[in-house]
Amino acid sequence: MHLLRLGLTLGCLYALWDYWLTRPNWPENQIINPLLLGIALGLTPVLLAFRALKWRACLVSLSPEITHWQALRSYLGALRLGILTPGRACEFTRGLYLPYASVQGIQGSGRVILDNWTDSVSVLVFALPGAFWLWGWKGLTLGGIVLITAAAIPLWLKLVHSLIQKGERFTGWKKRVLGFLQAFIPTGESISSRSLFVIFGYGLMAYVVEGLQFILLLRGLGESQGQSLILAGLLALVHLANSVQVTVAGIGPREGLTTWLLAKAGLSASLVLGASFFQTALVLFLPAGIGLFFKPYIFDKDSGEDLALTKFLPRR
């Protein structure tokens, strides 16, 4: 399966590269603006700061002593392996990069679900202008229904746990699976409404920075067309479509879909493709490269912490 994903990735990259070389669509009198490109680069630390603040807010009810730096270390450390696994599954190891037992086990991994879930809700907010531009009021109405449904996080968590409790009569492996799910999926009671609003707010700010970064990359490469709100909305639709990654780190389909959608808005396809690759490098591969310098605490013998592997097993 991994070889298939790798093959799809290489195939998509070849197709995009062939498109770039054989069908250039560079605007006349294109002028690259180094200042705007530099500002876009400078937004990467700001984006990562919001990501870390959001991740810390997801964990604070489990371990209030977590610092912003520790949350950032956890996010970057797990990202390096996350981009190589289907659906970025290895991001569930974020807790291994924190020196607190309360977040190193199943419960800490479950908070990754909350982080990604609230990320999707934040992106849905910005996808509404894009849906309206593409499909009119029908798209806006459907997007609003999806947003309201996805935003009802406490209700969904409560429903899941009520279904789990109905299966308490099970024995054997079924009971162990239910026990794992009960520990893995956060309960609505363990996360206050205030915390959810804080997490959601950080998610909104992170996407504002990411959308602004992409627009600056476009402007810096010489693309002057397109309303910023519409561009941010179309980019949000790309994020949602790329939630299920069929290639390594979603490379290829993300850039292709971004190019196709923004070309419909009258933008230069070649410049959009270049900006998309540039941003992928800034928000994914650059942070993952930094994450190579961090190792999980279970391998850190000098941490002074009791990091036995039994902490990662659900309690009976």
Angstrom distance (rounded) from CA 28 to CA 225 = 13
What's the first-to-final CA gap in the chain, in angstroms? 33
Residue 1's pLDDT is: 54
Kindly state the DSSP code that residue 27 receives in the 8-state scheme.
P
pLDDT over 80 at 67, yes or no:
yes
Looking at per-residue pLDDT, the higher value among 69 and 162 belongs to 69
- Residue 193's pLDDT is 81
Q: pLDDT: is 1 or 70 the higher one?
A: 70
| Max avg pLDDT among 18-32, 57-71, 90-104 | 57-71
Mean pLDDT, the chain, whole residue set: 82
Q: Rounded to whole angstroms, how far apart are CA atoms 197 and 122?
A: 11
Q: What are phi and psi of 236, to 5 degrees?
A: -65, -40
Query: Using N-to-C axis directions, what is the helix angle for 106-151 and 173-184, rounded to 10°?
Result: 70
Task: Report angle CA 183, 114, 231 to the nearest 5 degrees.
Answer: 160
Compare 1 and 144 and report the one with higher pLDDT.
144
How many CA atoms, within 13 angstroms, populate the side-chain half-sphere of residue 151?
A: 16
Q: Nearest-5° angle of CA 48, CA 297, CA 96?
A: 60
Query: Residue 233: is it exposed, middle or buried by C-beta count within 10 angstroms (0-12/13-18/19+)?
Result: buried
Query: Any alpha helices (H) in the chain, and if so which ranges?
Result: 2-22, 34-59, 68-82, 101-104, 106-151, 153-166, 173-184, 193-221, 228-241, 253-264, 269-280, 286-291
Give me the pLDDT at residue 47, please. Answer: 96
Give the confidence band of 70 by pLDDT, cuts at 50, 70, 90: very high
pTM of the model as a whole: 0.85
Instruction: For 276-287, write each residue's pLDDT tens digit.
Output: 888 988 998 899
Confidence class of residue 304 from pLDDT cuts 50, 70 and 90? very low
C-alpha separations of 28 from 24, 31, 182, 267, 268 in Å = 12, 9, 59, 13, 11
3-state secondary structure 240-295: HHCCCCCCHHHCCHHHHHHHHHHHHCCCCHHHHHHHHHHHHHHHHHHHHHHHCCCC
Asked if the model's pLDDT at residue 152 lies above 50, the reply is yes
DSSP H/E element including 89: none
CA distance 12 to 246: 11
Q: What is the pLDDT of residues 168-181, one digit of tens each?
A: 777 777 777 777 77
DSSP state of 169: T
Average pLDDT over residues 138-167: 87
**CA–CA distance, 297 with 146 (Å, rounded to integer):** 39
Which 8-state DSSP code applies to residue 192?
-
Whole-angstrom Cα Rg for the chain: 21
pLDDT digits (tens, 9 = 90+) for 200-248: 999 999 999 999 999 999 989 888 777 888 888 888 998 888 777 767 7
Going from N- to C-terminal start, the domains of the chain cover 32-295
